C-alpha cells in the first residue's frame, strides 16, 4: 500500500494539483461521493445483474474509492498497512471468530 501512496502522490504532483487534494475533509467528501457512484452501479439490480452489465464501471468506481482513500492517507501522513491491521485487531475483539 505504501507503493500505491507514492504512485498516487506522483500522479497528483505531475499535474500540479497535490495541494488541491490534501484537505482530509474534502477528501472524505470526495470519497463518499465516489462510494455513492459505486453503489449506484448496483441500484435496482441483483449482484449478478450489476456485475454482468456494469463490471467495468464498477471496477472504475471502486478504483476511485481506493484512490481517494489513498490520497487521504497521504494527506494525513499515515501508514495504510498499520491502520488497517490495527482496525482488524479492534474488529477481532468486537466480532470474535466463531468456534467450530
User: How many angstroms separate the CA atoms of 82 and 63, rounded?
Assistant: 21
| Residue-level pLDDT at 100 | 65
User: How many angstroms separate the CA atoms of 84 and 88, rounded?
Assistant: 6
CATH number for 2-94: choose from 1.10.287.1080, 1.10.287.3510, 2.40.160.40, 3.20.20.100: 1.10.287.1080
Measured from the Cβ of residue 31, the count of other Cβ atoms closer than 10 Å reads 20
| Residue-level pLDDT at 17 | 82
Is residue 99 over pLDDT 90?
no
| Residue-level pLDDT at 20 | 77
Q: Cα separations (Å) of 99 from 28, 88, 96?
A: 37, 18, 9
Instruction: Write out pLDDT tens, residues 21-73.
Output: 789 999 999 999 999 999 999 999 999 999 999 999 999 999 999 999 999 99
pTM for the whole thing?
0.87
Amino acid at each position: 500500500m505504501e507503493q500505491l501512496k507514492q504512485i498516487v502522490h506522483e500522479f497528483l504532483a505531475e499535474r500540479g494539483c497535490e495541494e488541491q487534494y490534501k484537505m482530509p475533509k474534502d477528501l472524505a467528501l470526495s470519497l463518499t461521493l465516489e462510494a455513492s457512484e459505486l453503489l449506484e452501479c448496483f441500484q435496482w439490480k441483483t449482484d449478478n445483474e450489476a456485475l454482468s452489465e456494469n463490471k467495468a464501471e464498477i471496477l472504475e468506481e471502486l478504483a476511485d474509492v481506493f484512490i481517494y482513500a489513498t490520497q487521504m492517507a497521504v494527506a494525513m501522513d499515515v501508514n495504510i498497512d498499520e491502520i488497517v491491521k490495527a482496525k482488524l485487531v479492534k474488529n477481532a475483539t468486537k466480532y470474535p471468530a466463531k468456534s467450530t
